[in-house]
């Protein structure tokens, strides 16, 4: 028995068996979903693999403590700036009392006695770690004459009213540890009294480290629930005007994104079902086929999702959009098959015969339709992005399943009895249009061609420009509270931009020290030559055992008893209080003790109290693994151009030091060529594949040329629309072009294949144009529904595809048809004799 | 009981004695006083005077005494020359503050207006010389003792409070400042006596400073 007859037999005579198979499929898929459901909310997994900058960003995001940082901001009205300043300590105390809060940074640690004391406590190992020139200065400063001279000078500066003695004597009364503490002091500069306050004093920033157990989506959601509860009551005690309590950070973003996934799934599926169902109902005015179509499509989604989980283990957030896309695409098959089924019923076939006829006639078209679409989505494998690879595979699986289910399960919902024909205004309109176009193709072309050419001209002209947004904002969720907080902070703080980061992993502490010494020396020359604005490295914090030992030996040349005596005398002579120099005497004692070969070499990591605010600074440089480190390079302007990125790539590395350059801005700039490659090369490959497929299908150069021109016009009109409506392209939605080519080509195939074989234009061509229009509109609706998603990648991709598919449909109806009619004219009702058609309203 | 009564009486008498000559001004009188001072200064927005200063600071066991001359131009330009064995020159044009030590051939440069601790200090110092907007920044208690007046300024803003506890300005009958007392938040106290006040015109170059060749320049607060 042929396949189409077998299927017809099964869905009409063995319905129970088919329902059982469906039930088993649903049960198995549900089981997979229930037991293996794991969603990947990591936005970085949307970026392509194989880029060092991307890998660096993942390391930075995973291994450094900033992953657990939350940044709070209090924003008041200008008239409440003083109140805000008074309220800040109260807010800090409330923050510290939160069970999820491990540490709080509310200002420069140098401003607090604890911060100064902590810094002095780690001075000895850092002094011993100084290079030869630096340590020479230290030794010189310990000479009695130098001590006396320095104190005399400080006295005179006090008389002059200079703030310098106060600063120096608070941190470094002996005058030897300042060079060693430079990395700390320079990062907590006292130039600005309140480095975490906006210049207009209406915003104060507080950085916290949370104690969340893991950094997964559910833990982030749990944490943010507590944080948001705190935010709700954080303004208690505030007696001013409106006060915003903002929070941002990785956990805030992850919680938002993972929660918005639920919203995105519901909104996009509902949106897609309503829009697609609406179009289907308007087209056919039947409920049961509509329900059957919906059931079959949801079954596709369920099985594909389960298959995706089995294949990939976990699915990226972007894959939640696949259901909406699948519904938009899969409905094409339902429309075509139901249209053909109805046509067969109108031609006098019974229910089983009409099913068999529909499968027999459209099996090939559905196969090729599924093939081109699946290839288009499988081409996402070339994107190297885990998220988009999953999306492509899921849709490829889904589209094949849609083909299978629309030719089997869908028929379970069709009533056996024949419906009485009702007035079909859509078909009537389509038929009139086809008649008019076939009779006057040049007239129609005279309208459509100038419009398409004009859009093409706009597409290729440099003005208006096509917006390509490679900024970090293009990756943020829409209406994101965390994003709003981040941008408010960035807007209000002095011009700061994200630095490039250099990640260095060493095998041991000595290598780490040597590497950073070389890097710091090299970057100093870059800064002096003006190639970079500034940099910060952990060089001073990476200890060298060799250097510590060598400097300790040199320390033994100092007579500490004499130095101590000199200090005591100078303090008395210059009239300084002994209390001011207490830490200096302690330091002298510590240096004297460590000079002994028997003493253990100190490590600043064990000396710095765990509660110290300085860990905020240390954690910027060191990952959980202390041999994994990072340095920061600030450029003269935000990194947005290839020239900047190339300069940094060429200049920053040091020979013999493995280094990974990254940072969000650096990475997105690094990905622009990849994005362009995706846009041009992969889309071109797709076009070549489709060109070959069309040549094979038509074996007619005129039809081939018309179809290729249709695709070119569709893509041109898509670009022009994006330009005119300021719809931006971003790093990821450039993938839309290949999808538009893959999906849009189907409409032309349906029309031209029918045209080639048409004997009766009214029956054949008009009969296919209506389903094509309905299929196109449902695809536009399916992709357009993605525009409702919070996820910007998904929304951007959906809108770009919806625009492209709309123009593919329009070009097919208003250009392909008249052009074909002009190139290969056929007479209307060429053969009207012996027609078996009884009722043509449902074709 | 008798001891307590005696002590209370003694304290009362002490307070009464020390306040006997001073009379607190009503708000309207304070307003008028400030208005009179401003009117006088509006006519000549510049001032120069000799000064003698005594600093009692925690880091020194004995007060540090210095003397010299000060020039001021409203709203925020000033120059201060310290004479003696360890001379120094402090010059501010409102944007940059220089402290020059000729003896050491060195100078310190400070950028103003960055809300550094120095700004709060400068604001406090110039408060006595420039009373513009003083009511918004400070709570003021004014008193009259014969022909002279005293203004006691307590900062309103937290940033000023971190630097300054209280600032007292003594005016003579000609409404010239003849003494200021600054009580800093860290317990330091600076008392400055002014004499030979003049409102003669001051050349703008006096508020600019160019370090002599060979001067070692440092920026203790960065940049």
How far apart are alpha carbons A304 and A289 in whole angstroms?
22
H helices of B2-69, where? 2-19, 27-43
| Closest CB from B59, B156, B157 relative to A576 | B59
pLDDT at A825: 83
B222 contacts in chain A (CB < 8 Å): 186, 189-191
Partnered with residue A468 across adjacent β-strands are: A729
User: How many angstroms separate the first and last alpha carbons of chain A?
Assistant: 27
DSSP summary character for residue A106: -
Q: Is B136 on the interface with A (CB under 8 A)?
A: no
Q: How close B216 gets to chain A, by Cα (Å)?
A: 14
A155 contacts in chain B (CB < 8 Å): 60, 64, 86
| Closest CB from A155, A162, A192 relative to B108 | A162
H helices of B59-137, where? 117-127, 134-137
Residue A439: both structure tokens together:
């009779």
Q: What totals of helices (H) and strands (E) does chain A contain, helices first?
A: 33, 12
pLDDT, tens digit, for every residue of A553-584?
999 999 999 999 999 999 999 999 988 899 99
**Surface-to-core class of residue A647, CB atoms within 10 Å of its CB (0-12 exposed, 13-18 middle, 19+ buried):** middle
Confidence check: pLDDT of A456 > 80: yes
Helix (H) or strand (E) holding B187: none
pLDDT at A814: 95
The CB-based long-range contact list for B60-63 (8 Å cut-off, 24+ gap) reads: B60/A155, B60/A158, B60/A575, B60/A576, B60/A577, B61/A575, B61/A576, B61/A577, B62/A575
Residue A185's pLDDT band (cuts 50, 70, 90): low
A189 contacts in chain B (CB < 8 Å): 221-223
Q: Are A208 and A196 in contact (CB under 8 A)?
A: no
pLDDT at A838: 40
pLDDT at B17: 37
Q: Which of A79-93, A165-179, A705-719 has the lowest mean pLDDT?
A: A165-179
DSSP summary character for residue B131: -
Q: Is B157 on the interface with A (CB under 8 A)?
A: yes
Q: Are A271 and A785 in contact (CB under 8 A)?
A: yes
Q: How far is CA A635 from the centre of its chain?
A: 24
Residue B8's pLDDT band (cuts 50, 70, 90): very low
Contact B80 A161 (CB under 8 A): yes
DSSP summary character for residue A122: T
User: A191, A192, A571, A577: which to substitute to probe chain B, counting the most B Cβ within 10 Å?
Assistant: A191
A158 contacts in chain B (CB < 8 Å): 55, 57, 59-60, 64
DSSP assignments along A259-292, one per residue: HHHHHHHHHHHHHHHHHHHHHHHHHH--SHHHHH
Q: How far is CA A290 from the centre of its chain?
A: 36
Confidence check: pLDDT of A539 > 50: yes
| Nearest of A383, A291, A344 to residue A732 by alpha carbon | A383
Contact B88 A159 (CB under 8 A): yes
Mean pLDDT score of chain A:
86
Residue A480's pLDDT band (cuts 50, 70, 90): confident
Compare A671 and A377 and report the one with higher pLDDT.
A671
Residue of A nearest to B99 (CA): A162
| CA angle, A586 then A590 then A591, to 5° | 120
Phi, psi at B7, each rounded to 5°? -65, -45
Phi, psi at A626, each rounded to 5°? -65, -10
pTM for the whole structure: 0.73
Residue of A nearest to B119 (CA): A193
Q: Is B114 on the interface with A (CB under 8 A)?
A: yes
B101 contacts in chain A (CB < 8 Å): 156-157, 160
3-class DSSP state for residue A350?
coil
Q: Which of A90-104, A305-319, A518-532, A727-741 has the lowest mean pLDDT?
A: A727-741
How far apart are alpha carbons B60 and B49 in whole angstroms?
27
B80 contacts in chain A (CB < 8 Å): 161
B123 contacts in chain A (CB < 8 Å): none
H helices of A622-679, where? 642-651, 664-677
How far apart are alpha carbons A835 and A469 in whole angstroms?
57
Q: Number of A to B CB contacts under 8 A, please give it.
A: 102
Residue A708's pLDDT band (cuts 50, 70, 90): very high
H helices of A175-321, where? 182-187, 217-233, 250-284, 288-312
B90 contacts in chain A (CB < 8 Å): 160-161
Contact A580 B58 (CB under 8 A): yes
Q: How close B82 gets to chain A, by Cα (Å)?
A: 7
pLDDT at A655: 93
3-class DSSP state for residue A207?
strand
B160 contacts in chain A (CB < 8 Å): none
Residue B65: both structure tokens together:
């005494």
User: B51, B53, B60: which to substitute to probe chain A, counting the most A Cβ within 10 Å?
Assistant: B60
Q: Are A822 and A323 in contact (CB under 8 A)?
A: no
Interface of A with B (CB under 8 A): 82, 85-86, 153, 155-169, 186, 189-194, 197, 199, 575-577, 579-580
Chain A neighbours among B 12-71 (CB < 8 Å)?
Answer: 55, 57-62, 64, 66
Contact A85 B57 (CB under 8 A): no
| Closest CB from A168, A190, A576 relative to B222 | A190
Phi, psi at B108, each rounded to 5°? -110, 140
Q: Which of A166-170, A237-241, A412-416 has the lowest mean pLDDT?
A: A166-170
Residue of A nearest to B55 (CA): A159
Residue A795's pLDDT band (cuts 50, 70, 90): confident
Residue A540's pLDDT band (cuts 50, 70, 90): confident
Distances (CA, A) of A284 to A657, A770, A843: 68, 10, 10
Confidence check: pLDDT of A435 > 70: yes
Residue B74: both structure tokens together:
């409203």
Residue of B nearest to A166 (CA): B59
CB neighbours of A611 closer than 8 A, spacing ≥ 6? A103
B111 contacts in chain A (CB < 8 Å): 191
How far apart are alpha carbons A278 and A285 in whole angstroms?
10
pLDDT at B15: 39
Q: How close A160 gets to chain B, by Cα (Å)?
A: 6
E-assigned strand segments in A108-258:
203-210, 244-248
Partnered with residue A197 across adjacent β-strands are: A204
Compare A718 and A771 and report the one with higher pLDDT.
A718
A186 contacts in chain B (CB < 8 Å): 222
As a whole number, mean pLDDT of residues A494-503 equals 80
Chain A neighbours among B 162-191 (CB < 8 Å)?
Answer: none
Contact A159 B82 (CB under 8 A): yes
Q: On the CB side of B79, how many CA atoms lie within 13 Å of its CA?
A: 15
What residue has token string 């929660």? A259
| Closest CB from A161, A189, A190 relative to B90 | A161
Helix (H) or strand (E) holding A243: none
Contact A189 B156 (CB under 8 A): no
How far apart are alpha carbons A123 and A181 in whole angstroms?
7
Q: How close B166 gets to chain A, by Cα (Å)?
A: 18
H helices of chain B, where? 2-19, 27-43, 117-127, 134-137, 158-163
How large is the ipTM?
0.78
pLDDT at A842: 37
Residue A161: both structure tokens together:
């009213």
pLDDT at A422: 64
Handedness of CA B73, B75, B77, B81 (dihedral sign): positive
User: B52, B56, B61: which to substitute to probe chain A, counting the most A Cβ within 10 Å?
Assistant: B61
């Amino acid at each position: 028995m042929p396949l189409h007859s077998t299927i017809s037999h099964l869905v009409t005579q063995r319905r129970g068996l088919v329902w059982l198979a469906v039930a088993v499929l649903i049960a198995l898929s549900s089981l997979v979903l229930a037991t293996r459901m794991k969603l990947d909310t990591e936005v970085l997994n949307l970026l392509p693999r194989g880029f060092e900058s991307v890998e660096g960003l993942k390391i930075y995001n995973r291994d450094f403590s900033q992953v657990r940082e939350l940044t709070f901001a209090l924003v008041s009205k200008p008239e409440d700036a003083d109140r805000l300043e008074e309220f800040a300590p109260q807010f800090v105390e409330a923050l510290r009392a939160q069970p999820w809060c491990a540490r709080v940074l509310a200002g420069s640690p140098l401003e607090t006695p604890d911060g100064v004391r902590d810094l002095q406590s780690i001075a000895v190992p850092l002094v011993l770690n100084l290079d030869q020139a630096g340590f020479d200065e230290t030794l010189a400063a310990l000479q009695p004459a130098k001590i006396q001279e320095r104190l005399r000078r400080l006295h005179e500066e006090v008389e002059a009213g200079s703030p310098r003695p106060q600063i120096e004597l608070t941190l470094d009364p002996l005058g030897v540890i300042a060079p060693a503490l430079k990395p700390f002091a320079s990062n907590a500069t006292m130039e600005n009294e309140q480095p975490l306050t906006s210049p207009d004093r209406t915003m104060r920033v507080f950085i916290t480290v949370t104690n969340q157990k893991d950094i997964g989506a559910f833990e982030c959601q749990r944490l943010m629930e507590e944080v948001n509860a705190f935010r709700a009551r954080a303004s208690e005690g505030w007696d001013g005007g409106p006060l915003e309590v903002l929070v941002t950070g990785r956990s805030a973003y992850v919680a938002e994104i993972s929660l918005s996934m639920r919203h995105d799934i519901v909104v996009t599926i509902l949106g897609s079902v309503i829009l697609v169902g609406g179009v289907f109902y308007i087209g056919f005015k039947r409920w049961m086929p509509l329900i059957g179509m919906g059931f079959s499509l949801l079954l596709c989604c369920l099985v594909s999702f389960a298959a995706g989980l089995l294949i990939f283990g976990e699915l990226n957030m972007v894959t939640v959009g696949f259901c909406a896309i699948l519904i938009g695409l899969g409905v094409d098959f339902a429309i075509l098959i139901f249209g053909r089924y109805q046509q067969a019923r109108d031609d006098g076939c019974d229910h089983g015969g009409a099913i068999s006829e529909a499968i027999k006639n459209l099996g090939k078209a559905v196969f090729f339709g599924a093939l081109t679409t699946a290839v288009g989505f499988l081409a996402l494998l070339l994107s190297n992005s885990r998220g988009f690879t999953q999306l492509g595979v899921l849709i490829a699986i889904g589209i094949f399943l849609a083909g299978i289910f629309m030719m089997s399960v869908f028929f379970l919902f069709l009533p056996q009895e024949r419906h009485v024909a009702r007035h079909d205004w859509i078909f009537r309109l389509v038929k009139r249009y086809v008649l008019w176009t076939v009779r006057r193709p040049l007239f129609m072309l005279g309208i459509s061609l100038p419009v398409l050419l004009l859009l093409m001209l706009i597409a290729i002209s440099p003005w208006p420009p096509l917006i390509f947004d490679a900024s970090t904002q293009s990756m943020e969720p829409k209406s994101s509270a965390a994003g709003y907080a981040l941008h408010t902070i960035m807007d209000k703080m002095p011009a700061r931009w994200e630095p490039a980061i250099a990640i260095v992993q060493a095998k041991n502490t000595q290598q780490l020290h040597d590497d950073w010494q070389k890097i710091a020396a090299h970057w100093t020359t870059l800064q002096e030559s003006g190639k970079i604005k500034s940099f910060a490295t952990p060089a001073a914090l990476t200890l060298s055992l060799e250097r510590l030992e060598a400097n300790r030996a040199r320390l033994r040349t100092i007579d500490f008893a004499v130095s101590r005596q000199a200090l005591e005398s100078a303090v008395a002579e210059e009239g300084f209080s002994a209390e001011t120099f207490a830490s200096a005497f302690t330091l002298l004692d510590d240096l004297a003790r460590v000079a002994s070969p028997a003493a253990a070499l100190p490590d600043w990591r064990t000396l710095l109290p765990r509660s110290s605010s300085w860990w905020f600074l240390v954690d910027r440089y060191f990952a959980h693994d202390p041999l994994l480190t990072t340095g920061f390079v600030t450029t003269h302007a935000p990194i947005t151009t290839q020239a900047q990125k190339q300069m940094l790539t060429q200049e920053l590395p040091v020979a013999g030091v493995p280094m990974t350059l990254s940072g969000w801005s650096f990475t997105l700039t690094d990905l622009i060529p990849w994005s362009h490659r995706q846009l041009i090369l992969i889309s071109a490959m797709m076009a070549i594949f489709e060109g070959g497929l069309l040549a094979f299908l038509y074996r007619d150069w005129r039809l081939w040329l018309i179809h290729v021109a249709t695709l070119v016009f569709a893509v041109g009109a898509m670009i022009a629309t994006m330009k005119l409506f300021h719809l931006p392209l971003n790093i990821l939605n450039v993938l839309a072009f290949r999808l538009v080519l893959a999906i849009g080509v189907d409409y032309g195939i349906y029309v031209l294949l029918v045209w080639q074989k048409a004997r009766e234009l009214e029956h054949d061509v008009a009969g296919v144009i209506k389903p094509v229009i309905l299929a196109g509109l449902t695809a536009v609706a399916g992709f357009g529904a993605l525009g409702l998603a919070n996820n910007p990648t998904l929304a951007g991709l959906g809108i770009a595809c919806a625009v492209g598919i709309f123009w593919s449909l329009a070009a097919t109806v208003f250009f392909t048809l008249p052009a074909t009619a002009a190139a290969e004219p056929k007479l209307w009702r060429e053969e009207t004799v012996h027609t078996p058609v009884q009722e043509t309203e449902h074709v | 009981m008798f001891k307590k009564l005696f002590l209370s009486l003694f304290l009362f008498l002490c307070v009464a004695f020390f306040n006997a000559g001073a009379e607190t001004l009503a708000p309207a009188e304070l307003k008028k006083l400030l208005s009179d001072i401003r009117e006088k200064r509006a006519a000549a927005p510049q001032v120069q005077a000799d000064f003698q200063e005594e600093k009692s600071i925690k880091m020194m066991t004995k007060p540090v005494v210095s003397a010299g001359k000060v020039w001021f131009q409203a709203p925020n330009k000033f120059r201060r020359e310290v004479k003696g064995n360890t001379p120094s020159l402090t010059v501010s044009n409102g944007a940059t503050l220089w402290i020059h030590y000729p003896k050491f051939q060195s100078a310190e440069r400070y950028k103003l207006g960055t809300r550094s601790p120095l700004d709060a200090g400068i604001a406090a110092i110039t408060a006595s010389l420039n009373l513009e907007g003083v009511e918004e920044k400070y709570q003021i208690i004014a008193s009259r003792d014969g022909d002279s007046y005293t203004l006691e300024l307590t900062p309103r803003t937290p940033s000023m409070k971190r630097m300054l506890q209280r600032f007292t300005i003594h005016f003579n009958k000609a409404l010239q400042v003849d003494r200021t007392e600054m009580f800093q938040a860290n317990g330091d106290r600076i008392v400055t006596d002014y004499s030979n006040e003049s409102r003669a015109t001051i050349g703008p170059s006096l508020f600019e400073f160019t370090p002599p060749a060979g001067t070692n320049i440092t920026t203790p607060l960065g940049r």
